[in-house]
């Protein structure tokens, strides 16, 4: 196993453990809610966003606890967005990370509440003293997360996404859609270290640029896997975009051009890390992994 794969695996275990500790334990009537939150947040998944947070904080020598709590908060946001996106009224997906989606497992009403609860928990966790002792830093973090996740970020991207069904989108429009839908939260993850270390300026800007290119490379590869992959390999429903008549990078560029675009973005992402020493090596490897992965 390569260093990166081992690091991703170790990171996923550590983040899952942290998330598990942050979700309330079974307690009377809400026990089912907590159980469903745990199901949605801690099962399967590459934990890519938490990995970015942990690598980013590693560049600035922040504590393990700060890194993992911030990473867990971001994954709660990501998990809530998946639960709501999978709902029948949205993508109507029945399989996620090789398991039934939350609404298939627990019912639609519970899935809606699970998403709401995970979203709220993310802000509770990130705002807590245990994440960072300086309230100014935490306030900056809450603001950045809210902007990345909200109507001008991820939720806005979802809105563009559901409106895109059946429409022809230009390359610029699809880039903007993905920038909002996944790019803003990717940027938050990569910038988290700089925010937590109170290091604005060039370092944060470089990480933001890295995140931008990495996010697009990831998305194009996701679209390639969706078009070509099998459910057995990816562990989630495939050919969703074609079925839902949604434009994406592959429908727009074709397979070959999409592949070469992803490679260019991966190289470009790495070039933004020039100012960082070997502590950024896993981020460099990750950019290549983003486009080479098979699931």
- Interface ranges with its own copies (CB under 8 A): 23-24, 29-30, 32-34, 37, 80-81, 84, 87, 89-90, 107-110, 112-113, 115-117, 119-121, 123-124, 127-129, 135-136, 138-139, 142-143, 146-147, 149-152, 155-156, 158-160, 162-163, 173, 177, 180
Q: Where are the beta strands (DSSP E) in the chain?
A: 95-96, 99-100
39/51 with CB nearer its own copies: 39
48/113 with CB nearer its own copies: 113
For the bound state, the minimum distance from the C-beta of residue 72 to its own copies, rounded and expressed in Å, comes to 14
And the tokens for 293? 């992965």
For the bound state, the minimum distance from the C-beta of residue 292 to its own copies, rounded and expressed in Å, comes to 32
Report the 10 Å Cβ neighbour count for 65: 12
Distance, in Å, from the CA atom of 216 to the CA atom of 170, rounded to the nearest integer, reads 15
162/255 with CB nearer its own copies: 162
82/266 with CB nearer its own copies: 82
For the bound state, the minimum distance from the C-beta of residue 79 to its own copies, rounded and expressed in Å, comes to 13
180/273 with CB nearer its own copies: 180
For the bound state, the minimum distance from the C-beta of residue 246 to its own copies, rounded and expressed in Å, comes to 13
Distance, in Å, from the CA atom of 2 to the CA atom of 111, rounded to the nearest integer, reads 36
CA dist list (Å): 281 to 167, 268, 278, 288: 40, 15, 5, 11
176/259 with CB nearer its own copies: 176
Distance, in Å, from the CA atom of 6 to the CA atom of 279, rounded to the nearest integer, reads 16
Task: Please check whether residue 163 is in contact with residue 124, taking contact to mean a CB–CB distance below 8 angstroms.
Answer: no
120/267 with CB nearer its own copies: 120
For the bound state, the minimum distance from the C-beta of residue 242 to its own copies, rounded and expressed in Å, comes to 19
For the bound state, the minimum distance from the C-beta of residue 34 to its own copies, rounded and expressed in Å, comes to 6
Task: Please check whether residue 103 is in contact with residue 83, taking contact to mean a CB–CB distance below 8 angstroms.
Answer: yes
Distance, in Å, from the CA atom of 290 to the CA atom of 295, rounded to the nearest integer, reads 10
For the bound state, the minimum distance from the C-beta of residue 140 to its own copies, rounded and expressed in Å, comes to 9
Task: Please check whether residue 282 is in contact with residue 7, taking contact to mean a CB–CB distance below 8 angstroms.
Answer: yes
- Please give the helix or strand (H or E) that residue 74 lies within, else none: helix 64-85
Place of tokens 């057995």: 232
Distance, in Å, from the CA atom of 9 to the CA atom of 7, rounded to the nearest integer, reads 5
166/232 with CB nearer its own copies: 166
For the bound state, the minimum distance from the C-beta of residue 178 to its own copies, rounded and expressed in Å, comes to 13
Side-chain-side CA neighbours of residue 199 (13 Å): 20
């Amino acid at each position: 196993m390569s260093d990166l794969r081992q690091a991703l695996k170790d990171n996923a275990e550590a983040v899952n453990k942290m998330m598990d500790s942050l979700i309330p334990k079974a307690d009377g009537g809400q026990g089912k809610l907590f159980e469903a939150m745990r199901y949605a947040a801690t099962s399967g998944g590459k934990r890519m966003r938490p990995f970015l947070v942990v690598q980013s904080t590693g560049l600035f020598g922040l504590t393990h606890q700060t890194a993992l709590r911030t990473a867990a908060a971001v994954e709660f946001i990501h998990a809530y967005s998946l639960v709501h996106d999978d709902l029948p009224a949205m993508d109507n997906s029945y399989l996620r990370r090789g398991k039934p989606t939350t609404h298939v497992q627990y019912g639609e009403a519970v899935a809606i509440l699970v998403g709401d609860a995970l979203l709220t928990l993310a802000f509770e966790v990130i705002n807590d003293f245990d994440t960072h002792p300086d309230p100014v830093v935490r306030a900056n973090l809450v603001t950045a997360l809210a902007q990345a996740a909200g109507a001008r970020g991820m939720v806005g991207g979802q809105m563009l996404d559901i409106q895109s069904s059946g429409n022809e989108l230009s390359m610029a429009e699809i880039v903007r859609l993905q920038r909002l839908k996944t790019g803003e939260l990717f940027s938050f993850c990569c910038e988290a270290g700089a925010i937590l270390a109170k290091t604005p300026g060039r370092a944060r800007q470089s990480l933001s640029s890295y995140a931008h290119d990495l996010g697009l490379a990831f998305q194009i590869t996701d679209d390639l896997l969706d078009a070509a992959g099998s459910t057995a390999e990816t562990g989630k429903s495939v050919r969703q975009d074609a079925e839902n008549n949604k434009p994406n990078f592959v429908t727009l560029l074709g397979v070959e051009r999409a592949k070469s675009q992803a490679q260019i973005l991966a190289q470009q992402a790495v070039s933004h890390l020039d100012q960082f020493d070997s502590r950024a090596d896993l981020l460099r490897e990750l950019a290549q992994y983003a486009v080479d992965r098979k699931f």
